[in-house]
Homo-oligomer: A and B are copies of this chain.
Amino acid sequence: MRNIFFALSFLIVISSCNNVNSAKQLVETVNKTDSTTIKKIFDTALTNGQSYQWLEVLSNDIGGRLSGSAEAQQAVEWGEKLMTDLNFDKVWLQPVMVPHWARGEKEVAYFTSNNEKFDVAICALGGSVPTSKDGVLGEVIEVQGLEEAEQLGEKLRGKIVFFNRPFDDTLIHTFRAYGGCVDQRGGGARVVGKFGALGAIVRSMTHSIDDFPHTGAMGYGDIPENEKIPTAAISTKAANLLSEKLKENPSLKFYFKQSCETLPDAPSFNVIGEITGSEFPEKYITVGGHLDSWDLGDGAHDDGAGIVQSMEVLRLLKLNNIQPKHTIRAVLFMNEENGLRGGRKYAEEAKNNNENHIAALESDSGGFTPRGFTFDANSENYDLFMSWKPLFAPYGLHDIEKGGSGADIGPLKSETISLFGYRPDSQRYFDYHHAATDTFDKVNKRELELGAASMTSLVYLLDTYLN
């Protein structure tokens, strides 16, 4: 099977060969060179990697770095200095204005039922308006999703709406379970605000049953100011308790208070470093993650991992004396979490500058053991990409298939670019995602380094075989 795939991917080369045997020989030679190079990349990543040490600084010394915060600015300066110290050919900051939402004081929430008070763990969702200073108190209506809420319509007036559809545990890939629930977080408040609901409480986006609420972005769309109601995530343990108690007492009262606010947009930056291509300097391969994170944890997995892996890709190329033909860029995108301004700005500037971006790779699924890559690309490259499967198999990457890439590189999409998403094992990701538990100690050094090596190997192959 390997030879068939390789033959497909080297049609041009092979067509100049005199006979089938010499074509085969050529294919095997190229294959062996690639295997050897990839082995070197993995060896250096695992014995002389820097990504874990960098992540320790980003996570523990800087910490959570929400767009517009002082920590986000520190992260920008840290990234710029680090890539400068690594002697990349160019390092610069690309200015971008970002939303600036701040959580304010720690949220308070509880409910009372039959004279018993239950404190519950919540956190404001990113972009939410605050409650009044006295908080919000009301009866609760539990729903399983936006559609049910829409159908209840006016019945929601004066109520707190509790979106409680859980993750589908039977889905093996946890991102599918997330995809099946996250509309409640993103749109819950928007949908029920127009019916006069007082607030929206959303079950945390996780499989794990624990007491950590998971924040994340929400949006009001274009609804009028007076319909914007406060919204918060509730921990899964508290959500289960609330649901249980609601069955016993549907008129129990829920209270919550949050003091978050949206400040004026703030100046920030994408941080960019590049190795200039030796043959096609005007053609770009971008590898990136997002530098901003939520504020509850230190953003080690989301997306400190992607940030340090992206810089490590360029470092590992240099360390292995791989001089890329194309210009390779590491981009630390700002504001993926609550605006995507960095991703949009990067694509906009690429267009303004007539840059020819041939491929991009994003790591934004945590720093776990590699399982593969998904790609969103022109069908003419399908066989080429699939032909690389045998090169990745020895490192445990078997899932090389069509799929999404990443939010930050999405705006680069065109007829010609090949977009890739790095796909590590997904089982633990939503234990930590957007919660206080997303901290450096949850990252395993080897898993992170194997990811960086996998990404470097893909960039090496893209540089070698794309034109």
Contacts and interface: CB of A to CB of B under 8 A. Distances in A.
Contacts of A174: 446
A425 interface: yes
A181 to B, nearest CB: 15
Interface string A426-446: 011001000000000000111
Interface of A: 42-43, 46-47, 169-170, 172, 174, 207-208, 369, 371, 393-396, 398-399, 425, 427-428, 431, 444-447, 450
A206 to B, nearest CB: 11
A169 B46 contact: yes
Contacts of A43: 170
A232 to B, nearest CB: 25
B369 A425 contact: yes
Nearest to A453: B172
A40 to B, nearest CB: 10
A427 B444 contact: yes
A450 to B, nearest CB: 7
Given A371-B396, A398-B398, A428-B447, 5 more contacts: A42-B170, A46-B169, A169-B446, A369-B427, A431-B444
Closest 5 A/B residue pairs (Cβ):
A398-B398, A46-B169, A43-B170, A427-B446, A427-B447
A42 B172 contact: yes
A208 B52 CA distance: 12
A369 B46 CA distance: 21
Nearest to A398: B398
24 contacts: A42-B170, A43-B170, A46-B169, A47-B169, A47-B170, A169-B446, A172-B394, A172-B395, A172-B396, A174-B446, A207-B445, A369-B369, A369-B427, A371-B396, A393-B398, A396-B399, A396-B425, A398-B398, A425-B425, A427-B444, A427-B447, A427-B450, A428-B444, A431-B444
Nearest to A49: B169
Contacts of A444: 427-428, 431
A463 B394 CA distance: 31
A207 B431 contact: no
A394 B47 CA distance: 33
Nearest to A448: B427
A445 B172 contact: no
A289 B395 CA distance: 27
A447 B445 CA distance: 19
Given A170-B43, A172-B395, A445 B369 contact: no
